[in-house]
Amino acid sequence: MIDLHHLHSTLVTALSPCTFSPTSDGVISVPILVFSLALATVASAASISDRVRKHLGDRVAVGESPGIIVGVADRQGQIFASVGVPRLDAQGRPLDEKTVFEIGSITKTFTALLLQMAVDGGRVRMNDQVKKQLPPGLDLGAQVGGISLLQLATHCSGLPRMPDNFRPANPRNPYADYSQDQFFDWLRKVNLGEPQFSYSNAGMGLLGQLLEIRSGSKYESLMRTWIAVPLGLNDTVVSLSAEQRRRSAKPYSEGIALPMWDIPTLAGAGALRSTASDVLRWSSLHAGIIDSPLRLAMDKVQSSQGKSGPGTGKVAIGWLIRPSRQGNLMWHSGGTGGTRAWTGFNRRAGRSVVVLANSSVIVDDIGFHLLNPDLPLRTPRKMSTAPASLLRRCEGIYQIGEGQLTVKSEANRLSVQMTGQNPNPAYWEGNLSFFLRAVDAQLTFEEGADGKMKSVVLHQNGKDQRAERLTGTLR
């Protein structure tokens, strides 16, 4: 992606029914003490293969990202490997596990744990409706008011991915001017979809807002008090200190520097910044590699709540689940304008992983491979300059399933847009083939007898989908 409207995106979104298994409402006190939770760093059994190290170097070499860092932990210790730089201007310290990145939608796993802790503390119940959490005088309408907290936390609320009144004044920092009043006004008018899995930044943003209302604290204060301080996540914040800013990675998209995003209203969906060290600790705590004072709540958010698509994937509370022969891979990714993040863990194997990169190029394959080497690494692809005539011939609207794929020429590349999603850049790699970097997908165009493109094949997730070109012209 670079999808300024999305903190997490796939090119094709599939929906499936979602079932619920509410957790019990036992009461525990919220811990506020700092515990010593350091992972061992000596004689570590955790490893990162030479193949993965070379792959990281290849991705930087072809210009996919200025820098990438990965970390792996098991019950014996942890290890990090990095390549590249945090800033192309060569300012600041080298890229390492203390470099601060935006982590985008990984924030949602923190929001989910906050909800579970509120449930366990007797403040709310999972099946409580939105309207029960609102202060007197605030009415979000019957539809939104009837959504449950669990539905928000599992993307089964029927809310769209993003509000339709989201029109950023500054696309380089798109969430900065989106106000709470705008958000609540949209919620009063929105028509809900079916209560089935459909990834929603708006839904998790609303959950963050409700937790703020219920606690009387802003999202960052709540997250720091309930989670980050007790768990020793010293660099997991919304607002950076001057010292943290000095060791932050600069976000980039196609080599162009971007600012970090400010996300005041939808903070619960993607406002956090963190480091590889902190995020690896976060997933290690969930994996049980390190003992946690929040173990009960962490166990509960990992329970499967239903399917996340037509395949085998499932959704937990804030986390996604990918079944494997080695055990369930619990994971979440994150993306902002110029940063990609991924973390995951396998409790059965006692292994956790983090991947952070300061670019808009997807890194999910690296994370999954580090958790399960049977899962492939995608091939790093170098951009080539496409002939303008070829780009123009590819333009058109193509019917793909029940949706449409709109293809436009843009500078030295194509812009491709699925129905209901924002456009993504596609780069030429020769002949009639293009690839995306925001998601692991490729496009192969097919010529007709008249020399014009008659169809395009989308290669994604091991499947090929042919889309026939429609008649008519682009607007």
Tens digits of per-residue pLDDT, 9-32?
333 332 233 433 333 322 222 222
Residues 353 and 442 in one domain: no
The model scores a pTM over 0.75: yes
One domain, residues 42 and 107: yes
Return the pLDDT at 192.
95
Give the end of a domain, one of 380, 400, 415. Answer: 380
**452: containing domain:** 388-469
Q: Which two tokens stand for residue 110?
A: 């923190």
Say how far apart CA 426 and CA 444 lie, in whole Å.
11
pLDDT score at 409? 94
Angle formed by the axes of helices 107-120 and 201-215, nearest 10°: 40
Q: What's the pLDDT score for residue 37?
A: 34
376 and 395 inside one domain? no
- Cβ neighbors of 304 (< 8 A, separation 6 or more) are 21, 314, 315, 316, 321
94 and 178 housed in the same domain: yes
**Same structural domain, 51 and 101:** yes
pLDDT in the model for residue 18: 41
How many independent structural domains does the chain possess?
Answer: 2
Q: Tell whether 336 and 398 lie within a shared domain.
A: no
246 inside domain:
yes
Residue 474, in any domain of the structure: no
Residue 455 lies in a domain: yes
Surface-to-core class of residue 260, CB atoms within 10 Å of its CB (0-12 exposed, 13-18 middle, 19+ buried): buried
Residue 475, pLDDT score: 52
183 and 292 belong to one structural domain = yes
pLDDT tens by residue, 318-337: 999 999 998 999 999 999 99
> Which tokens sit at 158?
């029927």
pLDDT for 91 equals 76
- On whether both 358 and 409 belong to a single domain, the answer is no
Choosing from 380, 412, 438, the residue where a domain stops is 380
In a domain, 475, yes or no: no
Count of beta carbons in the 10 Å neighbourhood of residue 17: 11
Q: Give the pLDDT confidence score for residue 473 in this predicted structure.
A: 55
- Whether 225 contacts 114, CB under 8 Å: no
The enclosing domain of 327 has a CATH number of 3.40.710.10
When computed from its CA atoms, the radius of gyration of the chain, rounded to whole angstroms, is 22
Domain end (from 380, 406, 426): 380
Same domain, 400 and 292: no
Same domain, 151 and 33: yes
Residues of the chain with pLDDT under 70: 1-45, 472-475
**Residue 409, domain CATH:** 2.40.128
392 and 371, same structural domain? no
**Is the same domain home to 239 and 304?**
yes
